A and B are shown apart, each in its own frame.
Chain A
Amino acid sequence: MIDLIDVYKTYETGTHALNGIDMHIDDGEFVFLVGQSGSGKSTIIKLLTAELKPTSGSVLVNGYKLESIRRGKIPYMRRTLGVIFQDFRLIENKTVFENVAFAMRVVGARPREIRKRVPYVLQLVGLENKGRRYPNELSGGEQQRVAIARALVNNPSMIIADEPTGNLDPARSFEIMLLLEQINALGTTVMVVTHEKGLVDRFTKRVIAIDEGKVVSDGMDGYYSYEEAH
């Protein structure tokens, strides 16, 4: 569950990135976060992952109050999230299997659990036969699936994706969105940041539109409500 109440973020450079954001996302929802470049989408993601602290306002994620969280607790908060980026962020010298297993290992999972769980998530993202490949032996879409598998492997209650399809062609992008929808159907909350109007309109999902650090529309009417608000 995400709860942002009157959140402001001003960077050290003086840029007012967020100017009073209010947003509530319940467990089990699927949400698109849209907006022009520089509107503050990535800033919101960084607040949700505790990479940044809000200048003011309250940020509640899965029961953790991030505006006042102790540093030692941040790792445990992050284990409730699975994060995906546009640039995949895989480790080049580890195999697909190792990349996914790595995420379990660094939170202290037993080898036996790892051997059981990793093949399961690889099969979930459709890579059951590619565990031994290295990232540079995969297509962009496949690499993003590895990243999704890694985000899922510790069984987070929420997936947060910042432009997951930014580097992919429309067909691959659609497949990735279908995969995220499928994951959402299994009970995981999903929040996807994207630019791609066409993609958003192929789904009937809640769309939150941001402009200049404020929520300008929020509803089930697709990307158009955002365009009309302009």
Chain B
Amino acid sequence: MKRHTNFFYLIGQGIKSTFKHGFMSFAAVCITVACLVIINSFVLLCFNLNHMVEDLQRKTQMVAVVDESFSEQEARHLGSQINLIENVHKADFRSNKESLAAYIRDYEEALFDGLSADSMRHQFIISLEDNSLVIQTKAEIENISGIAEVYADIEVSNALATIRDVIYVASLAVAAVLLLVSLIIISNTIKLTMMDRKEEIAIMKMVGATNGFIRLPFVVEGFLLGLFSAALSFFIEWGLYELVLQAISKQNLAFLDFVPFGSVLVAMAISCGVAGFIVGVFGSLMSIRRFLRV
């Protein structure tokens, strides 16, 4: 009962002072929102890059070319041997005729004029269980007698994975800096409130208020600023993301396969909330620490 009433009194004090310093609170919220939006944009970028890398890896195939001395019948039999390799998910046979047809379909027909099926070789189109083992699996398939060559176009997804990793690290660095910036901004806003209430704090100390009691309204203020910034940045992020998706679909950049916001909604909400909480509460604690030392 006793704790209860005090708790609400203190919360009330925190809310009041947040509104009293309207302009400074507004400025702090704006800067914090900007920081959170940038941080979360990086999070979303990483998320989408990762999504694309995984997608590409899933689609990555190997092509095993059969020795030209093999007849179609003999070549087909190699399929069971390829399938015995543990990492092979699926091996589809493609005869020389089908290969030619596929080439003609994929590229410009004219290029293949005069080419006959005999100049193509029988192939297996192989997809893997685990693309990170591509080199070992490639060697194993090459060891099968009758397989002349194995091509793996894994380079693209590997390159993308490298880019993703670089952006991961960069994002972490940017996020750390921006979190610090928001922390300092919130902390300074609270400090302003505290300067404003210096005499009140002195009186509180004089009549024997504990430091915890003096601190709580300021923590509430920081918490509110942080939470408000978090909510605002979440919705701004959402809007921006939808705009980006629209732009992509308009520009025919369909190969940039972005996930819909719905599938990152919860993660984004948590990310915004946690960042806002940390920035608000720690920002206020930071500013109070020095102040209470008397």
CB distance from B23 to the nearest CB of A (A): 19
Do residues A75 and B210 form an inter-chain contact, with CB atoms below 8 A? Answer: yes
Q: Interface code B182-206, partner A: CB below 8 Å = 1, 0 otherwise?
A: 0000000000000000011011111
- CB < 8 Å neighbour of B203 from A81, A102, A108: A102
Closest to A76 in B: B208
> How many B residues have CB within 8 A of the partner chain?
20
Which residue in A83, A89, A91, A107 is a CB contact (below 8 Å) of B209?
Answer: A107
Q: Is the CB of A89 within 8 A of B203?
A: yes
Q: Does B235 lie at the interface of the complex (its beta carbon under 8 Å from any beta carbon of A)? A: no
Docked-complex contact A106 and B5, CB < 8 angstroms: no
Judged by a CB distance under 8 angstroms, whether A154 is at the interface is: yes
Q: Is the CB of B6 within 8 A of A105?
A: yes
Q: How far apart sit A89 and B198, CA to CA, in the bound complex (Å)?
A: 11
Quick one: CB contact mask for B204-247 with A, threshold 8 Å, 1 for yes? 11111111011000000000000000000000000000000000
B2 adjacent to A110 (CB under 8 Å): yes
A230 to chain B, nearest CB (A): 34
How many angstroms between the C-alpha atoms of A111 and B12 in the bound complex?
15
**Known pairs A91-B200, A105-B6, A110-B1; A150 contacts B208 (CB<8 A):** no
The answer on a CB contact under 8 Å between B202 and A89 is yes
In whole angstroms, how far apart are the Cα atoms of A83 and B203 in the complex?
Answer: 10
Q: Assess the B207–A150 pair: CB atoms within 8 A.
A: yes
Which residues in B have their C-beta under 8 angstroms from that of A103? 203, 207
B9 within 8 A of A: yes
* A117 at the binding interface (Cβ < 8 Å): no
- Please list 27 pairs of residues, one from A and one from B, whose beta carbons are closer than 8 Å in the complex, sorted by A's number: A51-B294, A72-B210, A75-B205, A76-B208, A78-B206, A78-B207, A78-B208, A79-B207, A81-B208, A83-B206, A89-B199, A91-B200, A91-B203, A102-B203, A103-B203, A103-B207, A105-B6, A105-B9, A106-B204, A106-B207, A106-B209, A106-B213, A106-B214, A108-B6, A108-B213, A111-B5, A154-B207
Of all A-B residue pairs in the complex, the 9 with the closest CB atoms, nearest first, are: A79-B208, A78-B208, A106-B209, A103-B207, A75-B208, A75-B210, A106-B204, A107-B208, A83-B206
